Chain A
Amino acid sequence: MTIQRRRFVAALGAGAIASAAGCSSTSDSGDGGGGNGTAGNGTDDDGTEGSEAVGVAGETLTLTTTTSTYDTGLLDEIHTDFEEMYGVTVDAVAQGTGAALETARNGDSDIVMVHARGLEDEFLRNGYGVNRRDLMFNDFVIVGPESDPAGIQGMSSATDALTTIAEAQAGFVSRGDNSGTHTKELNLWEAAGTDPGGDWYQETGTGMGEALNIANQQGAYTLSDRGTFISQRSEIDLTILVQGPIEDGPEILANPYGVMAVNPGVHENANYDLAMAYIGWITSPGVQESISEYQVNGEQLFFPEAVSEDPNFQQYVPEGWSSDDSDA
């Protein structure tokens, strides 16, 4: 496996060199090739260096992702490395998880990085996505004003906390935008056996940052991913009242991110090669290390989970799927 991947990466690198040599007047691709000199030299028997250089250099990878990954600045931080390695451009489009998957479903992106396992599984089952990998995780936290009118501070159960908020009819701001966070919130209400509704429950239809601001202005509670909350903490007066699993909170608040390529069998224009190169790159030990080192306001935002000694077959298939199931 490892050797194959190295060969693949090396071949891509060789292609990058070859095409960079072919159009050395373009400074962009020249830079891309230069950064990868050693990999290119390592393989001289590969077909990619033929007279027609068909490397990936100069191509564009369209990545649809969630506002919670984009707004933390993580992608800008790590993508430079990928762009230099392959001499390509990554166009990261920040949408909610639902919109990111819909864009990919229409064949308008090559790869998706999202955080709502249920929606990802549906995407996989319908054949739009292939080669899913677990990427990283952080967790959700329930935040609210320090005065904590409903009294949920320190509760060890997220569902109890939501039930308490509902019973107190304390203000709650919902994303209401079919994002990963919104999906998680709805799952939590369902698990709590409460149907939220009424004046105290507001669907804002906005990104996480805006939802936090609205909750801040109104002294309301909201569910946030830890990353966005940390990166915005200095601007708002909200505080974490129920912790997620990173700080020993309930496991139900886990927030795992997955990455998968758009199926080239469904959308033949999808840049599948480059998408797979990206998945290989972002799940590699080096980049996983960079993800764990990325900090905002002195705090780690994401915890890598792609590199593991033990096999984790469930990351490749819809949750709970086994080959015995009839729905192949």
Chain B
Amino acid sequence: MPLEPTAQLAPVLFEPTAQLVPALLDVSFREGYVGSIVFVSLYVSLTAVALSTLVSVPAAVAIGLAEFPGKGFVKSVVNTGMGFPSVVVGLVVLFAVSNQGPLGSLELIFTREAMIMSQFVLATPPITAISLAAVSGVDDGVRDAARVLGGTRVDVALVVLKEARYGIATAVLAGFGRAVSEVGSVLIVGGNITSADGISKTRTLTTAIQLEARQGQYETAMVLGAVLVALVLTVNAVVVRFGDRGVTA
């Protein structure tokens, strides 16, 4: 008798899985399609995050090490930036790069460069804010020791950076996570374009997922979602690996 509930339960539990697996295997893509959208996703997000890091980390160190009136306010502004809705950022960048906008003559609308611009705007606040927290968290003694040993301001900054490297790695990963997973702004400024033979020009994994969902192709959307998660996991693993090597070296 106690076996019966289990027997009833089993099909209920396993049936959806059984349906899901063949559905996933059925999904087919045109040759080169997935590879090209993965490439565009990585190209746009990594470029944007690299540019953001170049701006954010020096800014975070400068703000973190300096004492000036209004520092708290600057921190609040940066923290607020983390909450920028990506669609709004997309709209602002759209107005900027549109033919009618201030950057119209550069003809950036519906290009990867425009997507990089919007992701730069999105990734910079989290990278700055988390780096700033990491820099502020470095023990004052470290700074003082560097100064006492005769270090210039640059030396002090480098010592602080080294101490804060884990926090800064986290900041960069958070920025990357924000950039690679957002769909609103890249859809608006990029246009979700592929060529007729299915090679992506401005289609990223997120906008491809949105497109599949719009067409009701939920299985395909799920497969692309899995690819995106795998991609983020890989990038994180690589960064963490580098971080560990940095310690032993």
* B58: interface (CB < 8 Å): no
Which residues of A (74-129) have their CB < 8 Å from a CB of B?
Answer: 75-80, 83, 89-94, 106-108
* Contact A91–B214 (Cβ < 8 Å): no
* Contact B99–A107 (Cβ < 8 Å): yes
Chain B residue nearest in CB terms to A105: B100
The 8 Å CB contact of B107, one of A80, A106, A210, A269, is: A269
A108 to B108, CA, bound (A): 9
| Subset of 20 A-B contacts with CB under 8 Å | A71-B211, A75-B196, A76-B194, A76-B196, A83-B195, A89-B195, A91-B193, A92-B193, A93-B192, A94-B192, A94-B211, A106-B98, A106-B100, A107-B98, A107-B99, A107-B100, A107-B104, A208-B214, A231-B215, A269-B99
Chain A residue nearest in CB terms to B191: A93
Q: A108-B109, A269-B99, A269-B107 are in contact. Are A209 and B193 (CB under 8 A)?
A: no
* Contact B110–A62 (Cβ < 8 Å): yes
A92 to B211, CA, bound (A): 14
* Contact A108–B195 (Cβ < 8 Å): no
Minimum C-beta distance from B95 to chain A (A): 9
Number of A-B contacts (CB under 8 A): 66
* Contact B99–A79 (Cβ < 8 Å): no
Minimum C-beta distance from A126 to chain B (A): 15
A231 to B195, CA, bound (A): 21
A106 to B189, CA, bound (A): 13
A91 to B203, CA, bound (A): 11
Minimum C-beta distance from A208 to chain B (A): 8
Which residues of B (202-220) have their CB < 8 Å from a CB of A?
Answer: 211, 213-217
A210 to B209, CA, bound (A): 13
The 8 Å CB contact of B201, one of A77, A91, A106, A267, is: A91
Chain A contacts for B192, CB-based, 8 A? 93-94
* Contact A209–B195 (Cβ < 8 Å): no
* B198: interface (CB < 8 Å): yes
* B15: interface (CB < 8 Å): no
Binary CB contact string for chain A from 164 to 180 against chain B (1 if under 8 A, 0 otherwise): 00000000000000000
* Contact A232–B215 (Cβ < 8 Å): yes
A91 to B109, CA, bound (A): 11
Q: A62-B110, A107-B100, A108-B109 are in contact. Are A235 and B217 (CB under 8 A)?
A: yes
* B140: interface (CB < 8 Å): no
Which residues of B (102-123) have their CB < 8 Å from a CB of A?
Answer: 104, 107, 109-110
* Contact B216–A236 (Cβ < 8 Å): yes
The 8 Å CB contact of B110, one of A80, A93, A107, A210, is: A93
* Contact A90–B214 (Cβ < 8 Å): no
Which residues of A (3-42) have their CB < 8 Å from a CB of B?
Answer: none
Chain A contacts for B98, CB-based, 8 A? 106-108
